[in-house]
Amino acid sequence: MTVRSSLTIVLAAGEGTRMQSSMPKVLHPLAGQSLLAHVLDAAPHGADAALAVVIGPQHEAVAAEVKRVRPDAATVVQGERLGTAHAVLAARDAIARGADDLLVVFGDTPLISAATFQRLRAALEEGASLAVLGFRAADPTGYGRLLVKGSRLAAIREEGDATAEERAIRLCNAGVMAFDGRKALAMIEKIGSSNSKGEYYLTDVVGIVRDLGLEAVVIETSEDEVRGINTKAQLAEAEKVMQARLRKAALEAGVTMIAPDTVYLAADTRFGKDVTIEPFVVIGPGVAISDGAVIHSFSHIVQSSIGKNASVGPYARLRPGASLGDGARVGNFVEIKAATLEPGVKVNHLSYIGDAHVGSNANIGAGTITCNYDGFGKHKTEIGQGAFIGTNSSLVAPVKIGSRAYIGSGSVITRDVPEDALALERSEQTNREGGAKRYREMKTRGKPPKAG
């Protein structure tokens, strides 16, 4: 089979004003990734797959996101918003290079899958000049309706131009189209703007294809896959669909979750074998969980890696840069940030470990805090392997605790501690014999004894 070359054009010039946000619409996150990143990930990849993203003027943040996710993509600016066909032509130079398949997709339909692009391309391979992705809408209001004759697509009618009869049609245009890439430019350039909005509608290409005696077909998919995001409510709906997909995939990959509906995953979460995630866990972007690790309830994890057979939580927080070695244990009410815990480290209760390196098998007692910030800069704490940090210790960074050193409970450590040393930093204890009794007598003199 010969490999067909493709050009995918992603239209992302939308303002997204209905999101009530100062952030461009396509940068809103869904399962920890921007809407745009989802679309860019689903679009064809590889040496034969070119990509162009059409953005609005002053959308530097969108351009930066494109560069981050798909450094191979070109961004082109649509100076004026004159319609979807006009937006596609902003990428005219790329189209003129003539790929076998030209794919057009909107930046705000993040649930689209790579398999669907393949289905549209297969229709081109079978001889169609245009393949349009369609779906049966529960409520078709606002969508372009697909007018079909037999298996052929006759026209796409936008809501504003549709007759009452046409508006009753539930088969709608999802907005994703695949064109014969050699003919696409000539066809799209013929599109005019004689409709109720005076815009250049990409959907009008159907009539042009038909006038040329070429074939236009509809490929159907589920409504869930083509949900467009215009509002925060639709964003939440899409998140629901995406989370259901991610949970299903995780379960199929062998992750144990007894209450998957309460677990939030990110699109890029990676799991080893025999991972267990207890109820009510939130996982943000950039998390890798290795074989046999257990994430206990109510933990919140972002940009972290968790070693084999490690244990996290309940109620643990792993912030960006937390790296847990094999068999490490991070217990309840522990926060880890930008810190490496080598294998076998235990931080079981009520601690903050930030900007630190902790050697293998070190034991960090309850309530230990790395004082990493002095109000001006962040400083590093190094804890050697096998060190024992007594409970309620403050380690004032920058500071180094040697291997196998022992820190007495309640110490405030400001100077480096050598290997195998015992460091104590607290005043000596004094016991006054009978002192408690005398104190009680002083407080109760002349008062009747209390009941109980």
Smallest gap from Cβ 207 to Ca ion, in A, equals 21
Residue 279 near residue 258 (C-beta atoms within 8 A): yes
Tell me the C-alpha distance between 299 and 263, whole Å: 10
158 contact, one of Ca ion, ligand UD1, none, CB 5-8 Å limit per kind = ligand UD1
With tokens 């990734």, the residue in question is 33
340 contact, one of ligand UD1, Ca ion, none, CB 5-8 Å limit per kind = none
183 contact, one of ligand UD1, Ca ion, none, CB 5-8 Å limit per kind = none
Q: What is the DSSP string of 260-325?
A: GGG-B--TT-EE-TT-EE-SS-EE-SS-EE-TT-EE-TT-EE-SEEE-TT-EE-SSEEE-TTEEE-
Among 28, 38, 86, 247, binds ligand UD1 (CB under 6 A): 86
Smallest gap from Cβ 227 to ligand UD1, in A, equals 9
Tell me phi and psi for residue 286, to 5 degrees: 75, 35
- 59 an active-site residue? no
Give residues in contact with Ca ion (CB under 5 A).
228
83 binds ligand UD1 (CB under 6 A): yes
Q: Which two tokens stand for residue 1?
A: 């089979």
Q: Which two tokens stand for residue 7?
A: 């050009």
Only segment of 42-50, 120-128, 197-205, 244-252 that touches ligand UD1 (CB under 6 A): 197-205
Tell me the C-alpha distance between 367 and 303, whole Å: 24
Smallest gap from Cβ 226 to Ca ion, in A, equals 11
202 contact, one of Ca ion, ligand UD1, none, CB 5-8 Å limit per kind = ligand UD1
With tokens 């643990």, the residue in question is 316
8 binds ligand UD1 (CB under 6 A): no
Buried b (16+ CB within 10 A) or exposed e, 273-311: eebebbebbbbbbbbbbbebbbbbbbbbbbbbbbbbbbb
- 127-156 binders of ligand UD1 (CB under 6 A): 143-144, 156
Please identify which of the residues 38, 59, 86, 349 carries the catalytic annotation.
Answer: 349
Q: Give the torsion through C-alpha atoms of 259, 261, 266, 268, to 10 deg.
A: 60
Tell me the C-alpha distance between 340 and 142, whole Å: 52
Smallest gap from Cβ 78 to ligand UD1, in A, equals 5
Nearer to Ca ion, 200 or 352 (CB): 200
82 binds ligand UD1 (CB under 6 A): yes
203 binds ligand UD1 (CB under 6 A): yes
Buried b (16+ CB within 10 A) or exposed e, 357-394: bbbbbbbbbbbbbbbbeeeeeebbbbbbbbbbbbbbbb
137 contact, one of Ca ion, ligand UD1, none, CB 5-8 Å limit per kind = none
Smallest gap from Cβ 311 to ligand UD1, in A, equals 44
Helices 60-69/35-42 angle, 10° precision: 40
Q: Which two tokens stand for residue 203?
A: 């959907």
Smallest gap from Cβ 101 to ligand UD1, in A, equals 19
327 contact, one of ligand UD1, Ca ion, none, CB 5-8 Å limit per kind = none
Only segment of 115-123, 169-177, 325-333, 373-381 that touches ligand UD1 (CB under 6 A): 169-177
The set of residues, in sequence order, having a beta carbon less than 8 Å from that of 414 and lying 6+ positions away, is: 396, 399, 425
Smallest gap from Cβ 105 to Ca ion, in A, equals 12
* Count of other CB atoms within 10 angstroms of residue 197: 12
225 binds ligand UD1 (CB under 6 A): no
The binding site for ligand UD1 (CB under 6 A) comprises: 11-14, 54, 78, 81-84, 86-87, 106-108, 143-144, 156, 158, 172-175, 201-203, 228
Q: Which are the catalytic amino acids?
A: 349
